[in-house]
Amino acid sequence: MGDLDGKVALITGAGRIGGMGQAAARRLAEAGANVVVSDLARDRPELRQDETHGLGDDLAVMQQFAHDLTDEFGVRCVATPLDVTDQEQAEAAVNVATSEFGSLDILFNNAGATTGVGWFMDQTDQQWDLSWQVNTMGTRRLSMLAIPLMAANGGGVIINNISVGGLVADAGYGAYCASKFGVAAITKLIAKEHGKDGIRCVGVCPGVIDTGMAVANRRLVADLEGISDDEAWDLMLSAIPLGHAGSADDVAQVVAFLASPAARFVSGALLPVDGSMLE
């Protein structure tokens, strides 16, 4: 794996303990990058999957996480609030990276919402709009802010967390798949249009990953299929040839590779991290 010493990374959706954003922050810091971790840092009830698994993460918890990364790896890490649907907050988060560290070399668009999960004929306009605004427009918004900075600095890497739902549409995932297909298209467009600026854009496509969001997804599958949570989990795992779920760190290690010079000729690719679930 290539060295990221002195590089600056911004990660969205990094407020969830045990999530892919925090795992990626740890791997990038371990490789020597200075990291800005960001997330909502407030509650948005309309984005909750249920009463247990909301998306309103605590800024103080993120700040402690950043402090711990600084102590552990000897790099500089900071935390900042970021609702990816808010242009002012997006600009402020990017400004944190440039004001604290002087550049932005790596953007991991990890923030996402599963409000778009549900049967096609049952989903509301609000579910479609929220899914689009968070997953697709959030990725577009942060990327548009990062591209000029990266181009001025001779290049950079944008990594989009797409999920396998952006590669294959599945029954019961309605607006979620549509929004993630949009992210897949954005990934390839940026790679095509800004390769000349030294910018690589790649997509990482996790399958079933054992995180807090997977717990909520298990409940959604149970509701959709009319089965118990345990039966839903068994159903999800039965689709994976390796026979088990992935971990947040499985995704994070791929993100760290894609961000590194070792992947310097990888751009426009959509890389499944799914235990061969789609094959």
pLDDT in tens, 166-195: 999 988 888 999 999 999 999 999 999 999
Q: Count Cβ atoms below 10 Å from residue 4 Cβ, excluding itself.
A: 25
Summarize pLDDT for 1-46 with one digit per residue, the tens: 458 999 999 999 999 889 999 999 999 999 999 999 999 986 666 5
33's tokens: 């990058």
The pairing of strands 77-81 and 8-11 is: unpaired
Q: What is the pLDDT of residue 199?
A: 98
> Pick from 55, 41, 167: which is nearest to 112 by CA?
55
Half-sphere exposure of 45 (CA within 13 A, CB side): 1
Alpha-carbon distance of 263 to 279, in angstroms, equals 23
What does R_g of the chain's alpha carbons equal in angstroms?
Answer: 18
Return the ∠ at Cα 253 (arms to 173 and 174), rounded to 5°.
5
Look at residues 220, 235, 53 and name the one whose alpha carbon lies nearest to residue 122: 220
- The residue to which tokens 């479609």 are assigned: 128
Helix axes 20-30 and 248-259, enclosed angle (nearest 10): 50
Whole-model pTM: value is 0.93
Return the closest-CA partner of residue 156 out of 143, 173, 167: 143
Question: Token digits for 171?
Answer: 């029954």
Catalytic residue (one of 65, 108, 173, 176): 176
Half-sphere exposure of residue 63, counting CA atoms within 13 Å on the CB side?
6
pLDDT of residue 221: 81
Residues with pLDDT less than 50, the chain: 1, 52-53
Q: At what angle do helices 138-152 and 174-194 cross, to 10 degrees?
A: 10
In the annotation, is 176 catalytic?
yes
CA distance 79 to 77: 7
Do residues 161 and 201 touch, judged by C-beta distance below 8 A? no
Tokens of 275: 């235990």
Mapped onto helix, strand or coil, the DSSP state of residue 170 is coil
CA 1, CA 263: separation in Å to the nearest integer? 9
